[in-house]
Chain A
């Protein structure tokens, strides 16, 4: 599904990602963990096309996507969330979601001028889907709220919602749990599992070990921009390198 090969990214001489390689199997939940500054978010940005690779290759569904523009990769079926939530502030929550699906014919100005009926119909379908997503996130009551008025956690949920609307094959989630209330977090975990049931593939950055341990099939650990180790959650939990670099003695 996703293959990353010896990827390198430098920021003015500093190697944030350093010859890192890994693979993500179809229809799995893969955790990507590592200390702060290990290069996880940077790796996401490279995969999603928000940053340009210095070296290496990225394959998505067998296709080489090195240095595709973000929107091109998104169209191939990749969705991502942002670690620090980004919202369309002065648009409603519903619109935030309805924006996402690609190939809407009304996104072409000529169609919106001259093919009103077709556009209308598509919009209805689109709206229905958005409501579904909101229900899934238990945010229906916020449908008409401006996104700017959401709290930090609600914004994280909206991030997730947008990723869902894209009907992606692969979803990259950057710390969906950070700052989220524990009760809600349990729900997010359930939802991620449900996504997997629906056949999606998920790559997940998270510092919340409970979440990682409970839902991941495999876990990849990055450190200093490199691929450190990889294995099942249970293996990772007891790996001495991981303990030292990431979990700290106590958690073990």
Chain B
């Protein structure tokens, strides 16, 4: 019997390589649960076809192109980077009528994208993270701030949101500088950013294609000693070799909603399957994106794009019957009975508004002894 295919666009190389492997595990865990509990569409197995986006829009679009027009796939989880997700949506999945759920693309642009309802995400927009980060900076008593951000929709959106909030709180942003990924040296950007001696650097970047380099070069040339990070740098890798300088620095990142048993259950299942779960974001949301797509396919009874799109909002409802992340069986029965579902996801309850965004929470994290620990959570 033919399998049911879902595409995944995960970066195994490039700027988000250190996230991709784990978010992919999230999707694999969902696949495992679904297949162990009898598959979907009357016993067909779920197959995940992954394409490495290389955290690079071009590779992402080329990969998505293949998923849609060659493999005939109409449901995709991905991509992580907003810089990849947006062109994939605009150039491939929207015109190709395929559903795309990103587990981590936080750019505000996604909210307003002209997408015929084909694009969703299981995280909140950066209009929220920006507020939290702006407040964080102000709460840390910084009066002035320089921002260096990756030149894509994520960097720009978050940059704008932070500036707005920080200025609202009376702070001054002395410099806001976009950078290109993968350069050997960011000394000129840093020199510009430091030129008016701001209190801290707020860095919006991904780990491997610039973030770590900027942190190190900022430190070793004495440009900055106070930092605020965002979700792209919530990875222990950033502290290696510079632990003593980063001790106590804080950052923001989307996190699971407090309460509800999804997150706990997810950690348990994940560690059973793959070992310890790292403090990185978006592993849970990747699981959820996969699970929700499966629900929608089951509901639609078809693998056609428009049907899946419509099914998503038909099947999920706040007041539906509760389904936990390990209860695929139950979900299928409910769908068969025509019931709506309240999905208690790995990152908390998953519900989309009419532009495909979902609710969520932003956490504040902190570097302690070279490790990343969650400090507090701010809810929308």
Query: Is chain B in direct contact with chain A in the complex (CB below 8 A)?
Result: no
Residues of A at the B interface (CB closer than 8 Å) are none
